[in-house]
Amino acid sequence: MPYRSQKKSIMDNKDYISVYFDDEDPMLQALRRLKENNLTIIDVLTPFPVHGIDKLLSVKRTRIPVGGFIFGALGGILAFWFMTWVFTVSYPLIIGGKPFFALPSFVPITFEMTVLFAGLSMAAGMFLRSKLKPDIRFKPADERITDNMFVIVIGSNANTTRESIRTVLSGISIIEIR
Amino acid sequence: MSIFQSSLRKPLIEGKKSYQEITSQILDPLVNKPIKLWYFAITLSGGAMLFGLLMMGWTIWQGIGTWGENRTVGWAFEISTFVWWIGIGHAGTFISAILLLFRQRWRNSINRSAEAMTLFAVICAALFPFIHLGRPLLTFFIFPYPNTRLLWVNFNSPLVWDVFAIATYFTISLVFWYVGLIPDIATLRDKLRKGLKKTVYNFLSFSWKGSARDWHRHEVTSIMLAAIATPLVLSVHSIVSMDFADSILPGWHTTIFPPYFVAGAIYSGFAMVLTLLIIARKLMNLEDFITVEHVESMNKILIATGSIVALAYITETFMSWYSGIEYEQYMLQNRMTGPYAWAYWIMIICNVGSAQLLWIKKLRRSLLFTFFISIVINIGMWFERFVIIVTSLHRDFLPSSWTMYKPTIVEYGLLIGTLGIFFTAFLLFIRVFPVISISEEKSILKTENALQVAKEIHHG
């Protein structure tokens, strides 16, 4: 099933049909029915993460954790290399007669930098991939989505109209179709 | 959909709500004007904050000679308060990270405020190294940067580890908190009609749409941040404890310090969360979301961590006798019967005695008693740091330099002032952001409502 990321102000566009539900169970039921009928589902907007949606939309698992691992490893290596360079090359200092390359005492900072890099990169990854950015002109598709509305956005064409969707979804409790 | 854990478990959200009711009940107190009690509370905390800022200014203007420290007791009140605040800052990330990994549903209505509390507590703590320096303008000396002296900081020192640990902890806690906050800010944005407030929340919501793919990334990122924050929580207070444990002073030089400090930190942190939540549920009308079940669960953690702390006290006593070192033995004897014995016994009564009372179910489920005991525990935990630091220092190896330490008004002012900053920040926070995670509450609503129905049938 094709799944495109949501475009800006899709609700204004005539090519889209939005089906509104006030509960996740009928919404999931409808999603299954639409999938059986091979209809193009553009997006599903929900007020909270509904489990089971990912599978129905065949959303691929995000690679954010992989990025986190890479950047975390990078941060750790960078911190460890830097401390080693400082104490063996840049300015070797005798501290309490201990060796210059004092491996155990480099561990805490290496760990902290690993966590810092991994955490920041994963958060940055989420913001970038989901295109989350501060925008005062942003208009939500519908203000009820963050409250209690579950919306399935379907791509429309000559065969897929509001009426045909209504027939496909007969028996499922729908609030409205736009 | 519904997962039954046990028909005996009580629902975490009371009153069989709808999604809409959750949104409006959490957001209404934010949209409406605050109640009288809130104004009273913020006046009180604001006053304390001003007094503290005055004392901070006086310290920086006059120098740290305004404090009671002397040559023998070079670390005392301020470092105790610093460690106390860092400890309090541990519960937030414990609740949001460790309890998320363990899938503890009851964390959902307390994690937001606990995380905010973490941030404010860490800010209060971070003020102390700043004013400790005497010359705050030179704070940048503690960061490794290429300088004209060609000298780097000492990466072998736990004090430098501390800079990294606390900076990382604050950053990751802030990111974690804000990532969780975004969908709820979007809810608030859509609830508001027009005006400046809406524009500000629109900006802060990062144009959150609630798309399935965004939720997927949001969930994965949250759980991954929790996974890396979990060892981070444990590392921060371990490193703070090494500020002491890496020295050779009797009373500080013990290997038990890291776990002992971490348990103590979570203990005092949970006590502070309880203090704040019992206030917040009253101020913001959140009785249906922060229920007696939540309080009881937290009280159980207080029993566990309180008992670990008690065990650490016992181990410390045993080890100082068993070590066979006369300095260690004298240190403990002096701690228990010396001039600071009062502080030691306050610590024992507040920390060991109080948590054990929570074995009694009636007390554990009493809000009033919990509120009282949470304050007692925090007093006890402050004294723990004071006892560890001052009693170990004031009688050192050289009897001719034995002395006493007495805090000055300026030092009391710093403690009161940070309390003021902390409570003012928290009171402002509960007016500005949703104090309970709305989307997470909605995601457990079905199960909790089903539990409520099942319970009604069960009880006929």
pLDDT per residue over B404-457, tens digit each?
999 999 999 999 999 999 999 999 998 889 888 888 888 888 777 777 777 777
Annotate B315-376 with DSSP letters as a single string: HHHHHHHHT--HHHHHHHHHHHHSTTHHHHHHHHIIIIIHHHHTTSHHHHT-HHHHHHHHHH
A112·B161 Cβ contact <8 A? yes
Chain B residue whose CA is closest to A62 = B217
Round to whole Å and give the CA distance between B113 and B433. 10
Nearest to B359 by CA among B295, B296, B273: B296
Residue A138: its chain B contacts at CB < 8 A? 202, 205, 207
CB distance from A104 to chain B under 8 Å? no
Q: According to the model, what pLDDT value does residue A72 have?
A: 95
- Answer yes or no: is A59 within a domain: no
Identity of the residue in A45, A98, A147 whose CB atom sits nearest the CB atom of B209: A45
Q: What is the spatial distance between Cα B414 and Cα B418, in angstroms, rounded to a whole number?
A: 6
> Closest partner residue to B225 among A49, A122, A147, by Cβ?
A122
Scanning A51-80 for CB atoms below 8 A from B yields 53-54, 57, 59, 61-62, 64-65, 68, 72
Chain A residue with Cα closest to B190 = A143
Tell me what the mean pLDDT of segment B368-393 comes to.
Answer: 92
Residue B98 has pLDDT above 80, yes or no: yes
The pLDDT tens digits of the residues spanning A22-72 come to: 888 888 888 888 888 888 888 888 888 888 888 888 888 889 999 999 999
CB contacts of A61 in chain B (<8 Å) are: 216, 220
| pLDDT tops 80 at residue B130 | yes
Other CB atoms within 10 A of residue B412 CB? 14
Q: Is A145's CB within 8 Å of B209's CB? A: yes
List Cα–Cα distances, A12 to A8, A9, A140, A142, B278, in angstroms. Answer: 9, 6, 11, 11, 46
Q: Identify the CATH number of the domain in which residue A15 sits.
A: 3.30.70
B228–A119: do the CB atoms touch at under 8 Å?
yes
CA distances from B387 to B128, B206, B405 (A): 19, 47, 12
pLDDT at A132 over 80: yes
A132, B202 Cβ separation under 8 angstroms = no
B224 to A102: CB separation less than 8 angstroms, yes or no? no
pLDDT tens per residue, range A141-157: 888 888 888 888 888 77
Q: Where are the alpha helices (DSSP H) in B32-68?
A: 36-62
User: Which residues, including other chains, have CB under 8 Å from residue A173's CB and lie 6 or more apart?
Assistant: A21, A23, A26
Q: Cβ of B233 under 8 Å from any chain A Cβ? A: no
d(CA B381, CA B311): 15
The answer to whether residue A94 neighbours chain B at the CB level (below 8 Å) is: no
A153 found inside a domain: yes
Please give the distance of CA B42 from its chain centroid, rounded to a whole number: 20
- Structure confidence at residue B9 (pLDDT): 65
Does the pLDDT of residue A172 top 90, yes or no? no
Q: Which residues of B touch A68 (CB under 8 A)?
A: 224, 228
Half-sphere exposure of B218 (CA within 13 A, CB side): 27
Select the residue of A47, A93, A135 nearest B19 (Cβ to Cβ).
Answer: A47
The sheet that has A16-21: what strands, in order across it? A41-45, A150-155, A16-21, A176-177
Q: Who wins on pLDDT, B280 or A78?
A: A78
From the list B152, B165, B182, the residue facing A108 with the nearest CB is B165
Whose CA is closest to A128, among A68, A64, A83? Answer: A64
Residue A72's domain comprises 64-129
Q: CB-CB: which of B155, B206, B228 is closest to A109?
A: B155
Kindly list the residues from chain B whose CB atom is less than 8 angstroms away from the CB atom of residue A20. none
| Mean pLDDT computed over B30-57 | 90
Q: What is the mean pLDDT of residues B379-403?
A: 91
Yes or no, beta carbons of A49 and B215 under 8 Å apart: yes
Per-residue pLDDT tens over the stretch B302-345: 999 999 999 999 999 999 899 898 888 999 999 999 899 999 99
Is B210 at the interface with chain A, CB within 8 A?
yes
CATH number of this structure's domain B19-144+152-455: 1.20.1630.10
Does residue B460 have a pLDDT over 70? no
Residue of B nearest to A138 (CA): B207
Residue in B closest to A100 by C-alpha: B156
Q: Which residue among A24, A43, A115 places its CB closest to the CB of B168? A: A115
Residues 143-182 of B with CB under 8 A from A: 144, 150-152, 154-156, 158, 160-161, 164-165, 167-168, 171-172, 175-176, 179, 182
Same domain, A69 and A125: yes
**The token pair that represents A77 in the structure block:** 């290596």
Count of the separate structural domains present in chain A: 2
Q: With contact defined as beta carbons under 8 Å apart, do B187 and B27 qualify?
A: yes
Q: Are residues A69 and A93 in the same domain?
A: yes
Among candidates A108, A123, A148 on the partner chain, residue whose Cβ is nearest the Cβ of B221? A123
Least confident range from A120-129, B275-284, B407-416: namely B275-284
Full 3-state SS string of B231-283: HHHHHHHHHHHHHHHCCCCCCCCCCCHHHHHHHHHHHHHHHHHHHHHHHHHHH
**B residues 250-279 closer than 8 Å to A (CB):** none
Residue range B63-69: mean pLDDT, rounded: 87
Query: CA-to-CA distance for B205 and B438, rounded, in angstroms?
Result: 14
User: What percentage of chain B exceeds 90 in pLDDT?
Assistant: 42
Contact residues, A window 155-174, toward B, CB-based 8 Å cutoff: none
Q: Are residues A41 and A88 in the same domain?
A: no
Confidence of residue A106 (pLDDT cuts 50, 70, 90): very high
Q: Name the residue in chain A with its Cα closest to that of B178.
A: A123
Q: What 3-state class would DSSP assign to A63?
A: coil
Is the minimum CB–CB distance between B323 and chain A shorter than 8 Å? no
Structure tokens at A53: 């949606």
All structural domains of chain B with their residue ranges: 19-144+152-455
Mean pLDDT of chain B: 87
Query: Residues with Cβ < 8 Å from A132, sequence gap 6 or more?
Result: A126, B182, B206, B207, B208, B214
Touching check for B205 and chain A: CB below 8 Å? yes
Alpha-carbon gap: B97 to the closest alpha carbon of chain A (Å): 13
Provide the pLDDT for residue B397. Answer: 85
Compute φ and ψ for A22, nearest 5 degrees: -110, 15
The C-alpha of B10 sits at a distance from chain A's nearest C-alpha, in angstroms, of: 23
Q: Phi and psi of A35, rounded to 5°? A: -65, -40
CA-CA distances (angstroms) from residue B33 to A172, B185, B294, B404? 41, 19, 27, 51
For A16, the enclosing helix (H) or strand (E) is strand A16-21
Cα–Cα separations (whole angstroms), residue B105 to B182, B232, B294, B448:
20, 22, 10, 10
Model confidence over B156-211: pLDDT tens digits? Answer: 889 899 989 999 999 999 999 999 999 999 998 888 887 888 888 889 989 888 88
